[in-house]
Structure 1
């Protein structure tokens, strides 16, 4: 279990009411933001303290890992920002009866305030520009000591429950892809056969799989070579790609369904030299049961220059590893 602090002045009602966190992937200028990067490290069972209007107003337990999702509909005045894709984490929030004001307790909090990526100033005021940041167990214990028993019971229960019981399906991801499929289906400017090919490509089948088979012949990880047991998996995900990229064989690898799931959700990726990357938030025992050994270095062979280009997108915008730690 890890502990996180989220500043939600402008988005508190939406996020706490909707039981999620959402952030862009990068700043408006395209640069990485460490407080958005931290979204990639949240795991089911983690504790989230919600800070709003100078007080800790809610506490939550993460129900999912981060996943790609558009900016929530309720964040804007009209229309959905389907093209503004960020990170979403599903969280079960509970609003507190006792809502401590950190500024009133800085003699305690100041002693455990992190030196790097701190959520507060030493006077107890929030830091503009900080969205999500990790706090230590010592910091969390001080905060919990200022809260009511119900809040402490919630955290204690999260220790006792199996994290699998806290997981939720990536609701925002499912909604986004359903929207995209509907867009393709309703786009009469695309010939019907092409529309079908693009939609089938989401499932790693059809024309896209045929194109991938021209370059790939077996699962890169498990070495399964029976075509009926393999999916064509997008390096730049179908949800992020243009229609031409969705059918581009260079944008695909053959993977078994289990490996396809891990790759699509960012639990694994690949270096340009073929080394397998495993996300620090991935559940290692489960990966082993799915056929991926995590106790040894795995190299899956070389990639073409175009495959490397698509894999770079995957590492930068899908793989669940914060660049803050590198």
Structure 2
């Protein structure tokens, strides 16, 4: 069980009525925001305190209209069962009680009890959750008291909800792009499933699965390092934006359970189920190095580590 605080600001009406929270993975222009990344850590059963002051992957909700036009159109979404309270709590009226419980880093509110403009979703300690529940209602206090703060990483739903819709939208955009030739459109669509020109370009850099050593091409997936859905058209066909992986290793890499350092060291997410990873053929007890990467591969691996690789507890 984890506890969260969300500062809705302009999007409260849409999110509350729709039963979700959503934020872009990046700001317009690609700048990262650590608080947006916290959506990837929310798990079923967590408690979210909704504050109106002003992870599955999803296109920006249409109902947002012009709100947040500086945001990226693709972000993370978490479905939420909102429960309105009869007497809304104003944090600024209770800071004497709340102040000692605020997170030491990345607090969602300041010392005066006002929400930080730049904070969307933030993790809060159990002590703060208990104090908020006590101030809100006896029933909520009972619920929070009966839960335990998470001591282990939550089990992650590896089915990336919303990805199919995202990729379908990208496919439609490519098919309707009048500036692209028919040959280019076909190449981009085939690249989505690791075939065609992308695979031929990848063959210039990779000829086997770096973890299992399998060389037979019929057993290897041509996997994008920076996901196809997030890549530009040029990146979708770039051979350095890829690895040849056996199906089980492709699954782990695509879902963010494993990644690679620039020096070839394999890194395994704390969230990954270690016994399953071991049964898939990965040595979880010793350092695994898979060889050198090209400069272009290192560029795309930096994105994978930052935006795909799953990290538990990155926000304390």
TM-score by length of 1: 0.79
Structure 2: tracts of 5 or more residues without a match: none
* Match in the other structure for 1:257: 247
8 Å contact from structure 1 (residues 43, 281) kept in 2: no
The residue matched to 1:264 in structure 2 has which SS?
Answer: helix
Matched, 1:84 2:46: no
The 1:242/1:31 distance shift into structure 2, 3 A limit, reads: closer
8 Å contact from structure 1 (residues 209, 232) kept in 2: yes
Give 1:195 shift: 2.3
Structure 1: tracts of 5 or more residues without a match: 55-65
Give 1:302 shift: 0.7
Give the Cα separation in 2 of the matches to 1:223 and 1:154: 50
Give 1:301 shift: 0.9
* Match in the other structure for 2:230: 240
Superposed CA RMSD: 3.5
Give the Cα separation in 1 of the matches to 2:227 and 2:100: 44
Give the Cα separation in 1 of the matches to 2:283 and 2:141: 37
8 Å contact from structure 1 (residues 38, 322) kept in 2: no
Give the Cα separation in 2 of the matches to 1:46 and 1:206: 43
Give the Cα separation in 2 of the matches to 1:168 and 1:232: 20
Query: What does the per-residue CA deviation read over 1:245-289, in whole Å, with 9 as the maximum and x for residues that have no partner?
Result: 212222110112232233233332211101122334444444344
* Match in the other structure for 1:203: 193
- 1:1-326 pair list within 5 angstroms: 1-27=1-27, 31-53=31-53, 66=55, 68-77=57-66, 84-98=72-86, 99-148=88-137, 151=140, 167=157, 169-321=159-311
Give 1:204 shift: 1.7
The residue matched to 2:166 in structure 1 has which SS?
Answer: helix
Give the Cα separation in 1 of the matches to 2:92 and 2:115: 9
Q: More deviation in 255-264 or 67-76?
A: 67-76
Give 1:188 shift: 4.9
The 1:177/1:131 distance shift into structure 2, 3 A limit, reads: same
The 1:279/1:12 distance shift into structure 2, 3 A limit, reads: farther
Give the Cα separation in 2 of the matches to 1:314 and 1:22: 21
Give the Cα separation in 2 of the matches to 1:255 and 1:135: 39
The 1:75/1:211 distance shift into structure 2, 3 A limit, reads: same
8 Å contact from structure 1 (residues 70, 84) kept in 2: no
Q: What count of residue pairs does the alignment treat as equivalent?
A: 311
The residue matched to 2:243 in structure 1 has which SS?
Answer: strand
The 1:151/1:283 distance shift into structure 2, 3 A limit, reads: farther
8 Å contact from structure 1 (residues 39, 89) kept in 2: yes
Give the Cα separation in 2 of the matches to 1:109 and 1:207: 58
8 Å contact from structure 1 (residues 204, 233) kept in 2: yes
TM-score by length of 2: 0.82
Q: More deviation in 290-299 or 194-203?
A: 290-299
Q: More deviation in 216-225 or 245-254?
A: 216-225
The residue matched to 1:100 in structure 2 has which SS?
Answer: coil
Counting strand residues as a fraction of each chain, which structure ranks higher? 1
8 Å contact from structure 2 (residues 40, 76) kept in 1: no
* Match in the other structure for 1:59: none
